[in-house]
Every structure is written in structure tokens, then in C-alpha cells.
Copies of this chain bind each other. A is one copy, B any other.
Amino acid sequence: MSTQGASPHRASGSADPEDLSRLVATGRPADVAELLFALEPAEAAHAIMRVPREFAARVLEQPEFEGRAALIEHLPSDVAVGLITAMSPDARADLIRDLSDRVRARVLPRLDVSTRRSLETLLSYPPASAGGIMTTDYISVPPGSTVEETLQEIRRSGRRRPVYAVYVVEPATGVLLHVVSLRELVLADPRTAMTQVGEPRSLLTVGLETDREDVARLISKYNLLAVPVVDEERRLRGAITVDDVIDAILREQTEDVHKLGGLEALDEPYPRTRFATMVRKRAGWLCALFLSEMLTTSAMQHFEAELSKALVLILFIPLIMSSGGNSGSQATSLIIRALALRQLPLRDWWRVALRELPAGVALGSILGVIGVSRIMVWQALGLYDYGPHWFLVAATVGLALVGVVTFGSLSGAMLPFVLQGLRFDPASASAPFVATLVDVTGLSIYFTVAYLVLRGTLL
């Protein structure tokens, strides 16, 4: 049943029972998850049955434990149902998303009604939205409560919940009235009414559909430990805690690096990803880029007559094309990051264009000077003969570099804006994407400059 058979990292053999009980004794589920992840799913399933149930549920809650769905598939149904029930609602929803249809059909009907209902609610939100990463396991108190009563409530029901904040909720409507952080609660006089605790300020909340990246930005900007999720009627629906946000940031970061490299983001770590999946995720973009890059062949065919007359021009094609791609990829990575961190509003594209234009000219001129010097030095030292019109060839190369680098910087900077405007992820503007875009245009710029400079001499 394993979908991860040929991964290079799977340790063969079974878990050492002593290792396992030692790790359980240290009380850190993340360490046990790491140990189990190194085993075959069947072995891991066997091992987790030796771990006390509450602790085993904590192990399955570790988001880094990518093999947990495969493990569940190897458990007897009653054990699986028991573990899943003991998990926190958000981790449970995450796990159920990864199960195969067959196992999901076996497990879901056996969950108790309230667990199933909360699960169905969580699964109805997109996985990258606030609703998709929130937990429904939070502590709320009615507006009449005092700090002392709230502390008692936490001692009664907080043992199995993340307690970063307490939410004051109107019992009749479920509307969120006030948020008190655990720190504010501890600092407050026990007799104070909960609605009076903390500095008076507007509530920071997110909606069910808010993107997890925006949740992360909010938590990071205001240094929060948790943020409440409310619906349109401002009713409290869940809470997102800072540890989930860190996981979301790291996941988002991996996706971005993969996209920047010009491939579909892998869902699993590289060593775990099946060979066929990996090739498929890379082949898509590679073929798309290849088909676009074929335009360079068409462009060359178009300029064939010029090329055959001035073979010397061919020598600089890779140099000029790659310079355009490199400058474009620099500009793209700058703008992608500035957009992601909301340092640049979308409407400011023209300010960026006005900045990249002189930057491109400056960078192109630097490369142009180096290129021209190279030709002059080689010619002077007799290392290569660029022909009687070598000076015009050098001028062509220099001017083409200015044009290509300027065009590369400008289009590399504009591409993320265009993608964001079209509601695509700007991080899809990968270096290969930009390079391909610039390659075709770069060739045309080069040949046009050559035509203008060399007309009447070489061409």
C-alpha cells in the first residue's frame, strides 16, 4: 500500500523498541515522529501501537511527519479511529486530507458525530486559507466572567488545548467580543472582569477565506501568539496559533523556491518524492519553456541570410542571450520578494519601471564595456581575428548588451506585476521563465542592432 517505496532514505528493518521507549520517555512527540518517519509505513504502524494513545496522537499531529497518512493505512481500523479521535481538530483535518479514498471511507463513518461534524466543517475550507489551518479547539468564556473564573476554566479544560489566548464570546450569538492573551490574563488582577483586561483596542481577526500568507503577515507584524478566525457576522469560528503559522511559512517558502526554480512545487520532501511524480512535476514547465524557446530557432531561421554573411556574429549569441536572462532573473527575484512582503503595492509598477530602466542601462553599459574590451584585446593580441570590421562588430556587441540587459531588467521586473494582476502567484515568474522570455527578444534586439551598425559593411 505504500506510495513511497523507492525513496532513498527509508531505513530498512524495524524500530529498536528501546530507542522508541527512550524517546517516548523524553516526552517530545517530534522526536518520535522523526524516528517513525525513518521506517517503512508498516513498521511505523507496528511501532506506534506500542506508544500510549494520547502520546501517539501528539506524534501524528507533527506536521513534519509526512509519512503519517501511510502509517494510518497500515493500522487496524479501531486503532486508527482511536488515534484520529484523540488528535487536535486542525491536525486531524490535515491528516484526513492526505488519506486515500479507501481508508478515508473506512475510518470516517466510525468517528463519533461531533468529531465528524467538526471535521467536515474544517475540510470544507481550502487548505491554504485561514479556515483550512485553524483549530476549533479554543477556550472561550462569556462576557460576565472574571479573570479568576477564566483561570479555573483553563485549569479544567486547558490541558489538551493550545492556550495562547482566551476569547470572550457572546453566548447567544457566538459573536467575538474581546480577546485576552494568556500573558494579559496572568498579569491581571484575578477579580477583574474579562472584558476589562488588556489595553482597549480594536480586535485583530481574520476571515475564514483569508490566505494563510496574510495570516502569517498579521501574526508577524503584531507579534501575536494566536489570531481568532471569524465569519461575516463576526462569530468566532476558530483560532490560528503561531506554531501553525510557522509551519505555513516554511511550507510556502518551499513552494516559492520550487516555483522560482521553474517547476511545480513538490508536496513531499525531495528524498520522499516518487521518481515518476518528480519527473512529471519537472517535465510540465520544462516542456512549456522548451516550446517557447523554439521561437529562438524560428528567429534564427528568419535572420539566416544575415547570419551566413556575418558568421562572426554567431560567436556572441550565447553571451548576449544569457546576459539578458541573468539581469531579468535578478529583477524578478527582487520584485517577487517585495510584492510578497507587501513592500510594493501593485499600482506602483510604473515607479518600478522608471527605476529599472536606468538600472538596466547602467548594468548593460558595464557589461557592454567588458564585452567591447574583450573583443579589442583579443584582436590586438592576435588571439582571434574578428575580421576587417572588428571595430563595428565590437560596437554591435556593446550596444546589443545595453539593449538586451535593459530589456531583461525591465521585463523581469514587470512580469511579477503582470502575474499578480492576472491573479497568478508572482513567484511563478521563475528564472527559467524570464530567461526564455528574454532570449527570444534578446536575439531580435541583437540582430536589429547588427543590421543597423553593420549595414553596408558586413551585412
Chain A contact residues, CB within 8 Å of chain B: 8-9, 26-28, 30, 64, 151, 154-155, 158-159, 162-164, 182-183, 185-187, 199-202, 216, 219-223, 225, 242-243, 245-247, 249-250, 253-254, 256-258, 260-263, 266, 269-272, 275, 278-279, 282-283, 285-287, 289-291, 293-294, 296-297, 300-301, 304, 307-308, 311, 314-319, 321-323, 325-327, 329-338, 341, 343-344, 348, 351-352, 354-355, 358-359, 362-363, 366-367, 370-371, 374, 384, 405, 430-432, 435-436, 439, 443
Contact = CB atoms under 8 A, between A and B. Distances in A.
Contacts of A243: 220, 223, 242
Contact of A270 (B199, B334, B358, B384): B334
B201 A183 contact: no
Given A183-B163, A246-B242, A337-B254, A279 B311 contact: no
Contact of A359 (B202, B278, B311, B343): B278
Contact of A287 (B151, B199, B351, B366): B366
Contacts of A154: 186-187
B202 A26 contact: yes
A209 B29 CA distance: 26
A54 to B, nearest CB: 12
Contact of A318 (B286, B296, B336, B358): B296
Nearest to A364: B286
A257 B322 contact: no
B334 A263 contact: yes
User: Copies of this chain, how many?
Assistant: 2
Contact of A338 (B202, B271, B362): B271
A333 B257 contact: yes
Main SS of chain A's interface residues? helix
8 closest A-B pairs by beta carbon, nearest first, are: A261-B333, A431-B431, A296-B318, A27-B201, A270-B338, A223-B243, A269-B343, A326-B432
B282 A296 contact: no
Given A154-B186, A258-B334, A333-B258, A297 B318 contact: yes
Given A282-B359, A329-B430, 13 more contacts: A9-B348, A9-B351, A223-B243, A242-B243, A258-B337, A261-B333, A270-B344, A289-B322, A304-B315, A318-B443, A322-B436, A325-B432, A326-B436
A64 to B, nearest CB: 7
16 contacts: A9-B348, A162-B183, A163-B187, A182-B182, A257-B337, A258-B334, A258-B337, A269-B338, A286-B323, A286-B367, A290-B370, A290-B371, A293-B323, A294-B374, A296-B319, A431-B431
B291 A355 contact: no
